[in-house]
């Protein structure tokens, strides 16, 4: 009989993890406290856009390997290995992470754990959290210290969630016993057989790997965007600069893409929570550079608004602005801390009529920003616009025909916030083309 596993929390991480564990051949029960979400998943409907995941969800359901529930009692009794994938968003009142979902999950689950088991934390948490959770777990569980904790951070990217989960580039296991490490090795046997490195660490190191990775990626993006600021002051081209840097193997080209900067549910909140935690630990100086990383990132959004205003003739009053892109990145319908929507909303606030189009994120964007107008195609968003902004680099925007869009707009002004377009092609079609970090 296949090993049974549970997954607590069916957000992005939890849903992907549950579906992929079923794909690896396990019997999986996913739990969420939201009955609407559970019903949607049980009916084979993903509550978010992620390429390839819905097919695997349906396959898991059809094979009878995957189920969903709202009952902690059912989940606790179902398996003896439980993955915790609840959300740890930024707190409303500051930079720190809000751990209330994690605490609620552990406090509800632990009293139901009557026999030895492994609880595996996967969410992104401030360093030191696992230590506390481990104590709480053994205090509240009738199994006492038999209810063991492990910390196994997740590195999946939205848009590549299935690939990143089934073929991760490393698996980090923060464990306290050989038994826990052996169990995780067994569960991840397939990726390990494909050569994925398996690193056994203590709790604190496992927690830190995750936030350090996101802090590094954010730093790399802000580095090239700082260079974009210098390019703007000197007439240099940051796209060429980035490409030239990327040929140095020591630097590499990934996460060196200049533009409107990073957003989403992870990088921004993770660097802030990391700074808040460093402050508590008395090592705030060690991470003070992250304040600058955050500031550079936010300045890109302001610069985008300034460039657009310049092209709009100095003011947005009475101007029509078409926005291409609402998601925080392509291949996603996620609008959490989306640079695109931040810019769109600011420009709307400055008096423009703003119409947004995104291939996947319009329903989410409309719910969060009903004050903006929405279009059903790029062409529709371009209609009568005095200025067009490319804010999320979906492939269909990069491929758009400047002549076709040119016939729809009132004036041929384009600001490319993602360096996604070929300037020569757009200028040849009589567009006034501007881009962040480019002459």
SS3 402: helix
- Distance between CA 51 and CA 73 in Å, rounded? 33
Question: By CB under 6 A, is residue 259 in contact with ligand UGA?
Answer: yes
Candidate segments 173-181, 259-267, 283-291, 353-361, binder of ligand UGA by CB under 6 A: 259-267
- Distance between CA 22 and CA 45 in Å, rounded? 16
Total number of residues shown for the chain:
439
Residue 156, CB-side half-sphere exposure with 13 Å CA sphere: 25
x-marked contacts with ligand UGA along 47-66 as a string, rule CB under 6 A? --------------------
**Chosen residue from 328, 394, 426, 431 binding ligand UGA by CB under 6 A:** 328
DSSP bridge pairs for 29:
6, 67
Residue 138 Cβ, how far from ligand UGA at the closest point, in Å?
A: 28
DSSP bridge pairs for 82:
6, 119
266 is catalytic: yes
**Chosen residue from 66, 150, 217, 273 binding ligand UGA by CB under 6 A:** 217
Residue 144, CB-side half-sphere exposure with 13 Å CA sphere: 0
Question: By CB under 6 A, is residue 274 in contact with ligand UGA?
Answer: no
Question: By CB under 6 A, is residue 28 in contact with ligand UGA?
Answer: no
The residue number whose beta carbon is nearest to ligand UGA equals 257
Question: By CB under 6 A, is residue 15 in contact with ligand UGA?
Answer: no
Candidate segments 153-161, 282-290, 399-407, 424-432, binder of ligand UGA by CB under 6 A: 153-161
Residue 145 Cβ, how far from ligand UGA at the closest point, in Å?
A: 31
Residue 410: CB atoms within 10 Å: 14
Lookup result for tokens 């696992």: 130
DSSP bridge pairs for 136:
none
Candidate segments 28-36, 266-274, 279-287, 430-438, binder of ligand UGA by CB under 6 A: 266-274
In the chain, DSSP finds a helix count (H) and a strand count (E) of 19, 14
Candidate segments 90-98, 251-259, 364-372, 407-415, binder of ligand UGA by CB under 6 A: 251-259
**Which one from 117, 123, 231, 266 is the annotated catalytic residue?**
266
From residue 346, give the alpha-carbon distance in Å to each of 350, 371, 426: 6, 11, 26
Burial degree of 50 (CB within 10 A; 0-12, 13-18, 19+):
buried
DSSP bridge pairs for 84:
8, 121
Question: By CB under 6 A, is residue 329 in contact with ligand UGA?
Answer: yes
Residue 179 Cβ, how far from ligand UGA at the closest point, in Å?
A: 27
Candidate segments 61-69, 135-143, 226-234, 264-272, binder of ligand UGA by CB under 6 A: 264-272
Burial degree of 236 (CB within 10 A; 0-12, 13-18, 19+):
middle
Give, as ranges, the residues between 219 and 238 that touch ligand UGA (CB under 6 A): 221
Nearer to ligand UGA, 262 or 426 (CB): 262
Nearer to ligand UGA, 124 or 364 (CB): 124
Q: Residue 201 CA to chain centroid, in angstroms?
A: 25
Quickly list H helices, 8-71: 12-23, 35-42, 53-62
Question: By CB under 6 A, is residue 304 in contact with ligand UGA?
Answer: no
Radius of gyration of the CA atoms of the chain, in A:
23
Give, as ranges, the residues between 95 and 134 that touch ligand UGA (CB under 6 A): 124
Lookup result for tokens 């607590």: 8
From residue 362, give the alpha-carbon distance in Å to each of 366, 370, 409: 6, 11, 21
Candidate segments 72-80, 152-160, 166-174, 186-194, binder of ligand UGA by CB under 6 A: 152-160
* Residues near 234 by beta carbon (within 8 Å), at least 6 away in sequence: none
Size of the site for ligand UGA (CB under 6 A): 22
Question: By CB under 6 A, is residue 198 in contact with ligand UGA?
Answer: no
* Residues near 43 by beta carbon (within 8 Å), at least 6 away in sequence: none
Nearer to ligand UGA, 270 or 358 (CB): 270
Spatial contact of 393 and 333, defined as CB atoms under 8 Å apart: no
Give, as ranges, the residues between 382 and 411 that touch ligand UGA (CB under 6 A): none
Measuring CA to CA, which residue among 152, 72, 138 is closest to residue 104?
Answer: 72
**Chosen residue from 262, 274, 357, 431 binding ligand UGA by CB under 6 A:** 262
**Chosen residue from 156, 320, 435, 436 binding ligand UGA by CB under 6 A:** 156
Residue 38 Cβ, how far from ligand UGA at the closest point, in Å?
A: 22
**Chosen residue from 3, 91, 136, 157 binding ligand UGA by CB under 6 A:** 157
> What is the contact surface with ligand UGA in residues (CB under 6 A)?
124, 154-158, 214, 217, 221, 255-257, 259, 261-264, 266-267, 270, 328-329
Residues assigned a catalytic role: 266
């Amino acid at each position: 009989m296949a090993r049974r596993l549970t997954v607590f929390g069916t957000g992005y991480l939890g849903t992907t993890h549950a579906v992929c564990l079923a794909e690896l051949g396990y019997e999986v029960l996913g739990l969420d406290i939201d009955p609407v979400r559970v019903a949607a998943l049980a009916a084979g409907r993903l509550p978010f856009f992620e390429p390839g995941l819905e097919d695997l969800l349906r396959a898991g359901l059809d094979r009878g390997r995957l189920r969903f529930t709202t009952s902690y009692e059912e989940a606790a009794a179902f398996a003896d290995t439980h993955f915790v994938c609840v959300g740890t968003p930024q707190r409303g009142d500051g930079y720190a992470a809000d751990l209330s979902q994690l605490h609620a999950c552990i406090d509800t689950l632990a009293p139901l754990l009557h026999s030895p088991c492994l609880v595996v934390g996967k969410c992104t948490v401030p360093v030191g959290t696992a230590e506390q959770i481990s104590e709480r777990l053994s205090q509240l569980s009738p199994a006492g210290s038999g209810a063991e904790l492990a910390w196994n951070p997740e590195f999946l990217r939205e848009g590549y969630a299935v690939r990143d989960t089934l073929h991760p580039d490393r698996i980090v296991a923060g464990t306290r016993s050989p038994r826990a490490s052996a169990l995780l090795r067994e569960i991840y046997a397939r990726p390990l057989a494909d050569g994925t490195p398996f690193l056994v660490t203590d709790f604190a190191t496992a927690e830190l790997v995750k936030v350090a990775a996101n802090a590094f990626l954010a730093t790399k993006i802000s580095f090239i965007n700082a260079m974009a600021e210098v390019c703007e002051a000197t007439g240099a081209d940051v796209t060429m600069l980035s490409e030239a840097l990327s040929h140095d193997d020591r630097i590499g080209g990934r996460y060196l893409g200049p533009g409107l900067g990073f957003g989403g549910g992870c990088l921004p909140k993770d660097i802030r929570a990391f700074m808040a935690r460093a402050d508590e630990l008395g090592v705030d100086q060690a991470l003070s550079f992250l304040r600058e990383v955050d500031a550079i990132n936010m300045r890109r959004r302001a610069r985008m608004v300034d460039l657009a205003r310049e092209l709009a003739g100095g003011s947005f009053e009475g101007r029509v602005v078409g926005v291409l892109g609402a998601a925080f990145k392509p291949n996603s319908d996620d609008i959490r801390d989306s640079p695109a929507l931040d810019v769109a909303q600011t420009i709307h606030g400055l008096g423009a009529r703003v119409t947004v189009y995104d291939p996947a994120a319009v329903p989410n964007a409309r719910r969060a920003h009903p004050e903006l107008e929405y279009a059903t195609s790029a062409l529709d968003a371009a209609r009568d616009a005095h200025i067009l902004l490319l804010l999320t680099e979906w492939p269909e925007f990069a491929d758009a025909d400047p002549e076709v869009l040119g016939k729809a707009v009132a004036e041929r002004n384009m600001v490319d916030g993602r360096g996604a377009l070929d300037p020569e092609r757009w200028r040849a079609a009589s567009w006034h083309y501007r881009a962040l970090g480019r002459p």
